[in-house]
Structure 1
Amino acid sequence: MSRVFALSPDQADNDSMLAALSEGGAVQQVVLSTGLRVWVVARYAEAKAVLLDSRLKKDPATLSDPALLFDGGRHPEDSYAVLGRHVLNTDGADHRRLRELLTKCLAPKAVDRRRGRIAEIVETSLDVLAASAEPDLVTEFAAPVLTSVMSEVIGIEQTLLDRLLTAVRVVVAGPDPRSAEAREAADEQHRLILEAIDDHDRFPGTDTLLKLAFRDHHPRGKLSLAEVMSMVALTVFAGTTTSTTLLAHAAALASTREDLLDAIMAGPASCSAVLSEVLRRYPPTPCATWRFAAEDVEVGGVTIPRDATVLVLVAAANRDPLAYEDADRLVVPRPGSPAHIAFGHGPHFCAGAPLALTTATMALPALFARFPRLSLAVPVERLRWTTNLGDRSLFSVPIRLRPDERPA
């Protein structure tokens, strides 16, 4: 009988579930909460192999019968697979063509050019946080920082981006993609992206995603209008929600552990080490987005059949005791350990990783420099999480900015 796989809003319960799943084997069939049967890959070595395996496709058109896609229905996390045409549901040459636009906007050199502006955004957000009566690391620091940064990367006015993100969040991470709410959100998403496209020439700068798209890609037939719109929606959601979680959660954990806080304040390299370890142990994307078997594929001694739906369980693979000593603990530094796969591996490695890491590496030291005695207003184990397979986010992280003393 297949194991039921569903994420928990409680981190301790989630850890227990992942441990039990990992003990069941590197590759196994599970049943999701909706009743959909999928194959999950839960060990590190096998996960990396699958992420490189060209027989496991991102494009659902790979299936021998379209009716096989999600058993002919819809699934709460299926939007990346079934909606639009973008880097998360394409393979090979199509994927490289679509990814080229993101690379221009998000490559390390492009991100480095934005460092001055990121620093200004962080300082402004800290001023707002300082004035808050009920400060929260998610809603009043991490999310404003990331949405402001993403506004400038894409080239969308901030208030318009906020409205677009609200709509995209319902489309991508809503509980029922067949609901009237989801349909209305999809219509709103479409309308707001067209509005942003109409306004993009008036946005400052020359290297925003929209300006590059309509200067270098769309006019030359490299990207259709529909593809540009899909890429905007994807970048809005993926570029804000996961990075918001990384920044807020890393800050929350550092407020409870002096060794993590010391590493954050010691310089960019040690701060990056903290972020890497938080990503390894608590990846904001618990599962890599859907893959589909183009043929029978043997992984870890198990044959995944043709047309199967496959999830790489990043959250389990990153804590595989065969890959990491003391895998359940945050250890900084962690010398000699393999690289985590929170950003993926191979051709679908996250294009936004340089921006996410640069922003967090700048924002975390600035936060604790301004508020060196910041502490959580609730125990870290009581923080609550969303249960979306592709985007595990914190609802809130209430804090005290100037407590009389740091909790033991």
Structure 2
Amino acid sequence: MSRVFALSPNQADNDSMLAALSRGDAVQQVVLSTGLRVWVVARYAEAKAVLLDSRLRKDPATLSDPALLFDGGRHPEDGYAVLGRHVLNTDGADHRRLRELLTKCLAPKAVDRRRERIAEIVETSLETLAASAEPDLVTTFAAPVLTSVMSEVIGIEKTLLERLLTAVRTVIGGADPRSAEAREAADAQQQLILAAIDDHDRFPGTDTLLKLALRDYRPRGKLNLAEVMSMVALTVFAGTTTSTTLLAHTAALASTREDLLEAITAGPASCSAVLAEVLRRYPPTPCATWRFAAEDVEVGGVTIPRDATVLVVVAAANRDPLAFSDAERLVVPRPGNTGHIGFGHGPHFCAGAPLALTTANMALPALFARFPRLSPAVPLEELRWTTNLGDRTLSSVPIRLRPDERPV
């Protein structure tokens, strides 16, 4: 009988589940909370191999019969697979064509050109945090930083981006895709993206995603309008929510551990080591997005049959005791292997990784330089997480900026 695979809102329970998964068979068949049977890959070596294996496709059109997709139903996490045409549901030449636009905006050189502006955004957010009556690492720091940064990268006015993010969260998040709520959010998402497209010429700058897409890529036939819209929705969601969680959670952890705090404030290299270890142990994307077997594929001595749905459980693979010593602990500096797959691996390695890491590497030292005695207002083990397989987030991390403040 297949085991049930579901994430827990409680981090300790989630840790126990992932630890058991990472010590079990490399490939297992499980049942999701919706009843869908999938194959999960939970060990590090096999996960990396699958992420490189072209026989395991991202495009659901790979299936021999469209009715086989998710057993003919819909599931809360299926949005990246079935909605639109973008880098997370394409393979080969189509994937490279779509990814090229993201690379233009998000490659290290493009990110470096934004450093001065990112520093200004961080400083503004610190001022807001200092003036807040109820300071929170998510709502009054990390989320404002990331929405401002992504607003300028994509080329969308910030309040419009925030409305769009709300809609996309509903479409891709935990709502039943067949519900009225999800359908209304999908309509709102489309209308908000069209509004951003109409307004893109008035947005400052020349190298935003929208300006590149509509000035260079679409006129040359490299993208159609539907693809532009899909790429905007994907970038808004993936570029904002996961990076917000990484920044807020890393800050929360560092506020309770002197070793992490010292590393963050010691310089960019040691701060990067902290971020890498948090991404290993607590990746905001617990599972890589859906893959579909284009043929029978043997992985770890197990044959995954053609048309099977496959999930690489990144959060388990990153805890594999065969790959990482003392895998269940957050260790900085980490001895031995530091090659986590929190951003994926291979052709679908996260295009936004340079921006996410640069932003966090600038924001964290600035946060603790301004508030060196920042502390959580509630125990970290009481924080509650979303249970979406592709986007595990914290909605709130209340804090005290100074030790003499009364707890919230």
Counterparts of 1:174 and 1:226, CA distance in 2: 24
1:90 aligns with 2:90: yes
2-side partners of 1:345 and 1:22: how far apart?
18
Q: In structure 2, how many angstroms separate the alpha carbons of the residues matched to 1:150 and 1:292?
A: 31
The equivalent residue for 1:391 is 391
Letter in 1 for 2:131: A
Per the alignment, residue 246 of structure 1 pairs with: 246
Q: Which residue of 2 aligns with 1:168?
A: 168
CA distance in 1, matches of 2:391, 2:281: 15
Q: Give matches, 1:5-404, under 5 Å.
A: 5-404=5-404
* CA RMSD in angstroms, aligned pairs only: 1.0
Counterparts of 2:42 and 2:324 in 1: how far apart (Å)? Answer: 14
Deviation, structure 1 residue 326: 0.3
Question: Match of 1:111, SS?
Answer: helix
1:279 and 1:342 in contact (8 A); partners too: yes
Residues 126-150 of structure 1, C-alpha deviations (whole Å, 9 max, x = no match): 0000011110000110000000000
> Counterpart of 2:3?
3
Unmatched segments (≥5 aa) in structure 1: none
Conservation of the 8 A alpha-carbon contact between 1:323 and 1:338:
no
Which whole-Å CA distance do the structure 2 matches of 1:304 and 1:13 have between them? 29
Q: TM-score, normalised by structure 1?
A: 0.99
Give distance in 2, aligned partners of 1:294 and 1:400.
Answer: 52
Deviation at 1:174, TM superposition (A): 2.9
Cα deviation for residue 338 of structure 1 reads 4.0
State the identity %.
Answer: 90
CA distance in 2, matches of 1:216, 1:176: 37
Structure 2 CA distance, aligned partners of 1:126 and 1:139? 12
What is the CA distance between 1:404 and its match in structure 2?
3.6
CA distance in 1 between counterparts of 2:21 and 2:253 reads 25
Q: Give deviations 1:97-146, integer Å, cap 9, x for gaps.
A: 00000000000000000000000000000000001111000011000000
Could you tell me which runs of 5 or more consecutive residues in structure 2 were left unpaired when the two chains were aligned.
none
Q: Match of 2:172, as an amino acid?
A: V
1:201-231 per-position Cα deviation (integer Å, ceiling 9, x unaligned): 0000000000000111000100000000000
Structure 1 residue 20: Cα displacement: 2.0
Give 3-state SS (helix, strand or coil) of 2:390's partner: coil
Count residues in correspondence.
406
1:124 aligns to what SS in structure 2?
A: helix
Tell me how far apart the structure 1 counterparts of residues 225 and 174 of structure 2 sit (CA, whole Å): 25
> What CA distance in whole angstroms lies between the structure 1 residues aligned with 2:129 and 2:177?
35
The 1-side partners of 2:221 and 2:365 are apart by 43
SS of 2:298's partner is strand
Cα drift, residue 335 of structure 1: 3.2
**How far, CA to CA, are the matches of 2:326 and 2:177 in structure 1?**
39
1:160-205 per-residue CA deviation (whole Å, 9 max, x = no partner) reads 0010000000001032111001000000000000000000000000
Instruction: Kindly indicate whether the alpha-carbon contact (under 8 Å) linking 1:164 and 1:193 is maintained by their aligned counterparts in 2.
Output: yes
The residue type equivalent to 2:119 in the other structure is A
Equivalent residues of 2:23, 2:321 under 8 A apart: no
1: CA distance, partners of 2:189 / 2:76: 17
User: Quick one: which amino acid aligns to residue 320 of structure 1?
Assistant: D
Query: TM-score, with normalisation over the residues of structure 2?
Result: 0.99
- Paired with 1:273 and 1:98, the residues of 2 have a C-alpha distance of 31
Encode CA deviations 1:354-376: one digit per residue, 9 max, x unaligned. 00000000000000000000000
Report the secondary structure of 2:109's partner residue. Answer: helix
User: Alpha-carbon deviation of 1:395?
Assistant: 1.9
Query: Secondary structure of the equivalent of 1:271?
Result: helix
Read off the aligned partner of 1:143 and give its amino acid letter. Answer: A
* Distance (whole Å) between structure 2 residues aligned to residue 354 and residue 21 of structure 1: 30
C-alpha distance in 2 between matches for 1:10 and 1:350: 26
Letter in 2 for 1:309: T
Amino acid at match of 1:5: F
SS in 2 for 1:292: strand
Write the distance in 1 (CA, Å) between the matches of 2:163 and 2:272: 32
